Amino acid sequence: MKKLSVKKEHIREIFRSFNNLNVLIIGDVMIDSYLWGKVNRISPEAPVPIVTVSKKERRLGGAANVALNIQALGANPILCSVIGVDHEGLALLDLLKSQRLSQKGILKCRDRITTVKTRVIGNNSQLLRVDEEVEEDIEPSETQQLLTLISYIIQHDKIDVIIFEDYNKGMITPRLISKVVELAKSKRIPTCVDPKKKNFNAYKGVSLFKPNLKELKEGLKLDIGGDNIPELQKAVSSFRVKQKAETILVTLADKGVITNSRKVKEHIPAHVRSIADVSGAGDTVISVASLCRALECKDALTAAISNLSGGLVCEQVGVVPIDKDLLLEEALKLDFVK
Protein backbone atom coordinates (compact mmCIF):
# COMPACT_ATOMS: atom_id res chain seq x y z
CA MET A 1 0.00 0.00 0.00
CA LYS A 2 3.06 2.28 0.04
CA LYS A 3 2.44 3.48 -3.53
CA LEU A 4 -1.11 4.59 -2.79
CA SER A 5 -1.65 8.12 -1.50
CA VAL A 6 -5.14 9.57 -1.32
CA LYS A 7 -6.35 12.96 -0.09
CA LYS A 8 -9.04 13.07 2.60
CA GLU A 9 -11.25 15.18 0.36
CA HIS A 10 -11.14 12.46 -2.33
CA ILE A 11 -12.42 9.90 0.21
CA ARG A 12 -15.21 12.28 1.25
CA GLU A 13 -16.11 12.84 -2.42
CA ILE A 14 -16.32 9.05 -3.02
CA PHE A 15 -18.74 8.69 -0.10
CA ARG A 16 -20.83 11.65 -1.31
CA SER A 17 -20.93 10.14 -4.82
CA PHE A 18 -22.41 6.87 -3.49
CA ASN A 19 -25.68 8.82 -3.16
CA ASN A 20 -25.96 9.22 -6.95
CA LEU A 21 -25.69 5.53 -7.84
CA ASN A 22 -28.36 3.03 -8.89
CA VAL A 23 -27.44 -0.61 -8.22
CA LEU A 24 -29.14 -3.66 -9.75
CA ILE A 25 -28.79 -6.64 -7.40
CA ILE A 26 -29.53 -10.03 -8.97
CA GLY A 27 -29.64 -12.90 -6.51
CA ASP A 28 -31.34 -15.21 -4.05
CA VAL A 29 -33.49 -13.42 -1.48
CA MET A 30 -34.65 -15.02 1.74
CA ILE A 31 -36.21 -14.35 5.10
CA ASP A 32 -33.99 -14.73 8.14
CA SER A 33 -36.42 -15.74 10.88
CA TYR A 34 -35.50 -15.81 14.57
CA LEU A 35 -37.15 -17.41 17.59
CA TRP A 36 -35.59 -16.06 20.80
CA GLY A 37 -36.24 -17.58 24.20
CA LYS A 38 -35.09 -19.13 27.46
CA VAL A 39 -34.08 -22.73 28.16
CA ASN A 40 -34.82 -23.97 31.68
CA ARG A 41 -35.39 -27.69 31.15
CA ILE A 42 -34.91 -30.70 28.89
CA SER A 43 -37.87 -32.22 27.05
CA PRO A 44 -39.31 -35.45 28.55
CA GLU A 45 -40.01 -36.62 24.95
CA ALA A 46 -36.39 -36.53 23.69
CA PRO A 47 -33.00 -35.33 25.02
CA VAL A 48 -33.47 -31.84 23.60
CA PRO A 49 -33.83 -28.42 25.27
CA ILE A 50 -37.26 -26.78 25.52
CA VAL A 51 -37.15 -23.15 24.37
CA THR A 52 -39.83 -20.90 25.84
CA VAL A 53 -40.18 -18.30 23.08
CA SER A 54 -40.17 -14.67 24.22
CA LYS A 55 -39.56 -12.92 20.87
CA LYS A 56 -40.04 -13.60 17.17
CA GLU A 57 -38.28 -11.62 14.48
CA ARG A 58 -38.10 -11.65 10.68
CA ARG A 59 -35.39 -9.90 8.69
CA LEU A 60 -34.44 -9.61 5.04
CA GLY A 61 -31.64 -12.01 4.15
CA GLY A 62 -29.47 -13.17 1.26
CA ALA A 63 -29.37 -10.74 -1.66
CA ALA A 64 -31.87 -8.53 0.20
CA ASN A 65 -29.19 -7.92 2.86
CA VAL A 66 -26.93 -6.60 0.09
CA ALA A 67 -29.78 -4.25 -0.87
CA LEU A 68 -29.93 -3.04 2.76
CA ASN A 69 -26.16 -2.38 2.72
CA ILE A 70 -26.38 -0.51 -0.59
CA GLN A 71 -29.23 1.57 0.85
CA ALA A 72 -27.25 2.24 4.07
CA LEU A 73 -24.35 3.53 1.94
CA GLY A 74 -26.69 6.08 0.34
CA ALA A 75 -27.16 4.45 -3.08
CA ASN A 76 -30.44 3.21 -4.61
CA PRO A 77 -30.76 -0.61 -4.74
CA ILE A 78 -33.05 -2.38 -7.23
CA LEU A 79 -33.46 -6.01 -6.25
CA CYS A 80 -34.14 -8.68 -8.86
CA SER A 81 -35.08 -12.10 -7.49
CA VAL A 82 -37.54 -14.98 -7.36
CA ILE A 83 -40.02 -15.76 -4.57
CA GLY A 84 -42.85 -18.27 -4.20
CA VAL A 85 -46.56 -17.58 -4.38
CA ASP A 86 -46.94 -18.31 -0.67
CA HIS A 87 -47.43 -16.73 2.73
CA GLU A 88 -43.65 -16.30 3.18
CA GLY A 89 -43.43 -14.54 -0.20
CA LEU A 90 -46.03 -12.01 0.96
CA ALA A 91 -44.10 -11.57 4.21
CA LEU A 92 -40.91 -10.87 2.22
CA LEU A 93 -42.71 -8.26 0.09
CA ASP A 94 -43.96 -6.63 3.31
CA LEU A 95 -40.39 -6.53 4.64
CA LEU A 96 -39.21 -4.89 1.39
CA LYS A 97 -42.00 -2.34 1.68
CA SER A 98 -41.19 -1.54 5.31
CA GLN A 99 -37.54 -0.94 4.30
CA ARG A 100 -38.66 1.21 1.33
CA LEU A 101 -37.04 -1.17 -1.15
CA SER A 102 -38.45 -1.48 -4.68
CA GLN A 103 -40.39 -4.64 -5.56
CA LYS A 104 -40.33 -4.11 -9.32
CA GLY A 105 -37.61 -6.71 -9.92
CA ILE A 106 -39.29 -9.49 -7.91
CA LEU A 107 -40.66 -12.42 -9.92
CA LYS A 108 -43.27 -14.71 -8.32
CA CYS A 109 -43.01 -18.40 -9.30
CA ARG A 110 -45.85 -20.82 -8.58
CA ASP A 111 -43.71 -23.98 -8.45
CA ARG A 112 -41.20 -22.66 -5.88
CA ILE A 113 -41.28 -21.76 -2.22
CA THR A 114 -39.82 -18.62 -0.68
CA THR A 115 -36.56 -19.38 1.13
CA VAL A 116 -36.80 -19.04 4.91
CA LYS A 117 -34.01 -19.77 7.39
CA THR A 118 -35.31 -20.06 10.95
CA ARG A 119 -32.84 -19.87 13.82
CA VAL A 120 -33.92 -21.04 17.28
CA ILE A 121 -31.95 -19.17 19.93
CA GLY A 122 -32.09 -20.19 23.59
CA ASN A 123 -30.18 -18.34 26.33
CA ASN A 124 -28.42 -16.32 23.57
CA SER A 125 -27.02 -19.45 21.87
CA GLN A 126 -28.20 -20.81 18.54
CA LEU A 127 -29.61 -24.27 19.18
CA LEU A 128 -31.09 -25.14 15.79
CA ARG A 129 -31.54 -23.83 12.27
CA VAL A 130 -34.42 -24.94 10.05
CA ASP A 131 -34.14 -24.23 6.29
CA GLU A 132 -37.18 -24.15 3.99
CA GLU A 133 -35.90 -23.87 0.42
CA VAL A 134 -35.67 -25.25 -3.09
CA GLU A 135 -32.13 -25.47 -4.53
CA GLU A 136 -32.92 -26.75 -8.05
CA ASP A 137 -32.39 -24.31 -10.92
CA ILE A 138 -35.40 -22.28 -11.96
CA GLU A 139 -37.15 -23.33 -15.19
CA PRO A 140 -35.77 -22.00 -18.53
CA SER A 141 -39.04 -20.08 -19.00
CA GLU A 142 -38.49 -18.37 -15.62
CA THR A 143 -34.90 -17.51 -16.58
CA GLN A 144 -36.33 -15.89 -19.73
CA GLN A 145 -38.86 -13.93 -17.64
CA LEU A 146 -36.04 -12.70 -15.40
CA LEU A 147 -33.94 -11.69 -18.42
CA THR A 148 -36.89 -9.71 -19.82
CA LEU A 149 -37.35 -8.01 -16.44
CA ILE A 150 -33.62 -7.24 -16.07
CA SER A 151 -33.44 -5.88 -19.62
CA TYR A 152 -36.46 -3.63 -18.96
CA ILE A 153 -34.90 -2.26 -15.74
CA ILE A 154 -31.56 -1.59 -17.47
CA GLN A 155 -33.35 0.22 -20.34
CA HIS A 156 -35.52 2.37 -18.06
CA ASP A 157 -33.28 3.09 -15.04
CA LYS A 158 -29.76 4.50 -15.06
CA ILE A 159 -27.94 1.43 -13.70
CA ASP A 160 -24.38 2.19 -12.55
CA VAL A 161 -23.34 -1.30 -11.44
CA ILE A 162 -24.81 -4.82 -11.34
CA ILE A 163 -24.20 -7.21 -8.43
CA PHE A 164 -24.68 -10.98 -8.70
CA GLU A 165 -25.38 -12.23 -5.16
CA ASP A 166 -25.33 -16.01 -5.49
CA TYR A 167 -26.52 -18.22 -2.61
CA ASN A 168 -26.84 -21.48 -4.61
CA LYS A 169 -30.64 -21.42 -4.44
CA GLY A 170 -31.14 -21.97 -8.17
CA MET A 171 -32.18 -18.50 -9.30
CA ILE A 172 -28.84 -17.63 -10.90
CA THR A 173 -28.18 -19.99 -13.83
CA PRO A 174 -25.26 -20.05 -16.30
CA ARG A 175 -27.56 -18.72 -19.05
CA LEU A 176 -28.73 -15.84 -16.86
CA ILE A 177 -25.11 -14.97 -16.03
CA SER A 178 -23.85 -14.96 -19.63
CA LYS A 179 -26.82 -12.98 -20.98
CA VAL A 180 -26.70 -10.33 -18.23
CA VAL A 181 -22.90 -9.91 -18.53
CA GLU A 182 -23.29 -9.55 -22.32
CA LEU A 183 -26.04 -6.94 -21.88
CA ALA A 184 -24.03 -5.08 -19.20
CA LYS A 185 -20.97 -4.93 -21.48
CA SER A 186 -23.04 -3.48 -24.31
CA LYS A 187 -24.21 -0.74 -21.90
CA ARG A 188 -20.78 -0.33 -20.25
CA ILE A 189 -22.16 -1.27 -16.84
CA PRO A 190 -19.64 -2.96 -14.50
CA THR A 191 -20.61 -6.39 -13.11
CA CYS A 192 -19.59 -7.54 -9.62
CA VAL A 193 -19.99 -11.04 -8.21
CA ASP A 194 -20.30 -12.61 -4.77
CA PRO A 195 -20.06 -16.27 -5.88
CA LYS A 196 -20.90 -19.69 -4.50
CA LYS A 197 -19.54 -23.09 -5.54
CA LYS A 198 -22.13 -24.18 -8.13
CA ASN A 199 -21.66 -21.33 -10.64
CA PHE A 200 -18.09 -20.46 -9.61
CA ASN A 201 -16.64 -20.95 -13.10
CA ALA A 202 -19.65 -19.55 -14.98
CA TYR A 203 -18.84 -15.87 -14.34
CA LYS A 204 -16.79 -15.10 -17.44
CA GLY A 205 -15.76 -11.54 -18.28
CA VAL A 206 -17.02 -9.83 -15.12
CA SER A 207 -15.54 -6.62 -13.73
CA LEU A 208 -15.06 -7.73 -10.11
CA PHE A 209 -15.18 -11.26 -8.66
CA LYS A 210 -15.23 -11.49 -4.85
CA PRO A 211 -14.98 -14.96 -3.30
CA ASN A 212 -13.90 -15.62 0.26
CA LEU A 213 -10.98 -18.00 0.89
CA LYS A 214 -13.22 -21.05 1.44
CA GLU A 215 -15.11 -20.39 -1.84
CA LEU A 216 -11.83 -19.85 -3.71
CA LYS A 217 -10.34 -23.10 -2.39
CA GLU A 218 -13.50 -25.07 -3.23
CA GLY A 219 -13.97 -23.44 -6.63
CA LEU A 220 -10.33 -23.94 -7.74
CA LYS A 221 -9.72 -27.16 -5.73
CA LEU A 222 -6.80 -25.47 -3.96
CA ASP A 223 -5.00 -26.51 -0.81
CA ILE A 224 -3.36 -23.22 0.14
CA GLY A 225 -3.58 -21.53 3.53
CA GLY A 226 -4.71 -17.91 3.93
CA ASP A 227 -1.23 -16.90 5.09
CA ASN A 228 0.50 -18.08 1.89
CA ILE A 229 -0.12 -14.84 -0.01
CA PRO A 230 2.38 -15.40 -2.90
CA GLU A 231 0.83 -18.79 -3.81
CA LEU A 232 -2.70 -17.41 -3.48
CA GLN A 233 -1.88 -14.49 -5.78
CA LYS A 234 -0.38 -16.90 -8.32
CA ALA A 235 -3.52 -19.10 -8.32
CA VAL A 236 -5.82 -16.05 -8.48
CA SER A 237 -3.86 -14.53 -11.39
CA SER A 238 -4.18 -17.74 -13.38
CA PHE A 239 -7.94 -17.94 -12.66
CA ARG A 240 -8.44 -14.24 -13.52
CA VAL A 241 -6.82 -14.67 -16.94
CA LYS A 242 -8.81 -17.84 -17.66
CA GLN A 243 -12.10 -16.17 -16.66
CA LYS A 244 -11.27 -12.88 -18.43
CA ALA A 245 -12.20 -11.09 -15.18
CA GLU A 246 -10.86 -7.58 -14.66
CA THR A 247 -10.28 -7.75 -10.89
CA ILE A 248 -10.49 -10.48 -8.27
CA LEU A 249 -10.88 -9.52 -4.62
CA VAL A 250 -10.49 -12.38 -2.12
CA THR A 251 -11.49 -11.92 1.52
CA LEU A 252 -9.23 -13.84 3.92
CA ALA A 253 -11.06 -13.28 7.25
CA ASP A 254 -8.45 -12.32 9.88
CA LYS A 255 -5.73 -12.20 7.18
CA GLY A 256 -7.39 -9.26 5.37
CA VAL A 257 -7.94 -9.23 1.58
CA ILE A 258 -5.98 -9.64 -1.60
CA THR A 259 -6.78 -7.75 -4.77
CA ASN A 260 -5.56 -8.99 -8.13
CA SER A 261 -5.82 -7.29 -11.53
CA ARG A 262 -3.49 -7.00 -14.52
CA LYS A 263 -1.73 -3.99 -13.00
CA VAL A 264 -2.22 -4.42 -9.24
CA LYS A 265 -1.53 -7.34 -6.93
CA GLU A 266 -1.84 -6.22 -3.31
CA HIS A 267 -2.40 -7.81 0.09
CA ILE A 268 -4.14 -5.62 2.65
CA PRO A 269 -3.95 -6.97 6.22
CA ALA A 270 -7.04 -7.05 8.45
CA HIS A 271 -7.57 -4.32 11.04
CA VAL A 272 -7.39 -5.54 14.61
CA ARG A 273 -10.98 -5.64 15.87
CA SER A 274 -13.08 -7.39 18.51
CA ILE A 275 -15.05 -9.85 16.36
CA ALA A 276 -18.60 -10.40 17.61
CA ASP A 277 -20.19 -12.05 14.56
CA VAL A 278 -18.94 -12.62 10.99
CA SER A 279 -22.49 -13.07 9.57
CA GLY A 280 -23.21 -10.78 6.65
CA ALA A 281 -19.66 -9.44 6.33
CA GLY A 282 -19.39 -10.71 2.74
CA ASP A 283 -22.62 -8.87 1.84
CA THR A 284 -21.13 -5.63 3.14
CA VAL A 285 -17.80 -6.13 1.34
CA ILE A 286 -19.44 -6.75 -2.07
CA SER A 287 -21.70 -3.71 -1.54
CA VAL A 288 -18.82 -1.33 -0.80
CA ALA A 289 -16.58 -2.83 -3.51
CA SER A 290 -19.33 -2.53 -6.14
CA LEU A 291 -20.01 1.14 -5.38
CA CYS A 292 -16.27 1.87 -5.53
CA ARG A 293 -16.13 0.00 -8.85
CA ALA A 294 -19.01 2.05 -10.25
CA LEU A 295 -17.02 5.19 -9.38
CA GLU A 296 -13.88 3.74 -11.04
CA CYS A 297 -11.83 3.87 -7.83
CA LYS A 298 -8.35 2.36 -7.94
CA ASP A 299 -8.23 -1.37 -7.11
CA ALA A 300 -6.08 -0.92 -4.00
CA LEU A 301 -8.39 1.81 -2.64
CA THR A 302 -11.49 -0.32 -3.37
CA ALA A 303 -9.89 -3.25 -1.54
CA ALA A 304 -8.85 -1.12 1.45
CA ILE A 305 -12.29 0.46 2.02
CA SER A 306 -14.04 -2.89 1.44
CA ASN A 307 -11.70 -4.63 3.88
CA LEU A 308 -12.46 -1.95 6.45
CA SER A 309 -16.22 -2.32 6.00
CA GLY A 310 -16.12 -6.09 6.54
CA GLY A 311 -14.24 -5.63 9.81
CA LEU A 312 -16.68 -3.00 11.08
CA VAL A 313 -19.82 -5.14 10.60
CA CYS A 314 -18.10 -8.07 12.34
CA GLU A 315 -18.09 -5.97 15.53
CA GLN A 316 -21.91 -6.12 15.57
CA VAL A 317 -24.00 -9.12 16.68
CA GLY A 318 -26.25 -10.50 13.93
CA VAL A 319 -26.55 -9.49 10.29
CA VAL A 320 -26.54 -5.70 10.21
CA PRO A 321 -25.93 -3.22 7.36
CA ILE A 322 -22.85 -1.01 7.44
CA ASP A 323 -22.92 2.39 9.18
CA LYS A 324 -21.82 4.81 6.43
CA ASP A 325 -20.70 7.61 8.78
CA LEU A 326 -18.58 5.23 10.84
CA LEU A 327 -17.04 3.71 7.69
CA LEU A 328 -16.13 7.20 6.41
CA GLU A 329 -14.64 8.15 9.78
CA GLU A 330 -12.47 4.99 9.77
CA ALA A 331 -11.54 5.35 6.07
CA LEU A 332 -10.17 8.84 6.78
CA LYS A 333 -7.78 7.24 9.32
CA LEU A 334 -6.23 4.77 6.84
CA ASP A 335 -2.45 5.20 6.72
CA PHE A 336 -2.33 6.14 3.02
CA VAL A 337 -4.97 8.89 3.42
CA LYS A 338 -3.33 12.30 3.75
Q: Longest Cα pair distance anywhere in the chain, in angstroms?
A: 65
Per-residue pLDDT, 279: 58
What's the pLDDT tens digit per position in 61-91? 999 999 999 999 999 999 999 999 999 999 9
Per-residue pLDDT, 277: 42
Active-site amino acid positions: 283
Q: Please tell me the distance from the alpha carbon of residue 206 to that of residue 191, in angstroms, as a whole number.
A: 5
What's the pLDDT tens digit per position in 236-249? 999 999 999 999 99
**Helix (H), strand (E), coil (C) string for 265-283:** EEEECCCCCCCCCCCCHHH
What percentage of the chain carries pLDDT values higher than 90?
77
Q: Tell whether the model's pLDDT for residue 102 goes beyond 60.
A: yes
- pTM, two decimal places: 0.92
Q: Per-residue pLDDT averaged across 250-263, rounded?
A: 90
Domain boundaries, the chain: 8-29+63-113+135-331
Query: In sequence order, what are the residues at sequence separation of 6 or more whose Cβ sits closer than 8 angstroms to the Cβ of residue 211?
Result: 194, 195, 200, 219, 248, 250, 251
Q: 8-29+63-113+135-331 domain in CATH 3.40.1190.20?
A: yes
* Averaged pLDDT score across all residues of the chain: 91
Please list the alpha-helical segments (H only) found in the chain. Answer: 8-17, 63-72, 87-98, 140-156, 174-186, 213-220, 229-243, 281-294, 299-313, 324-331
Per-residue pLDDT, 276: 42
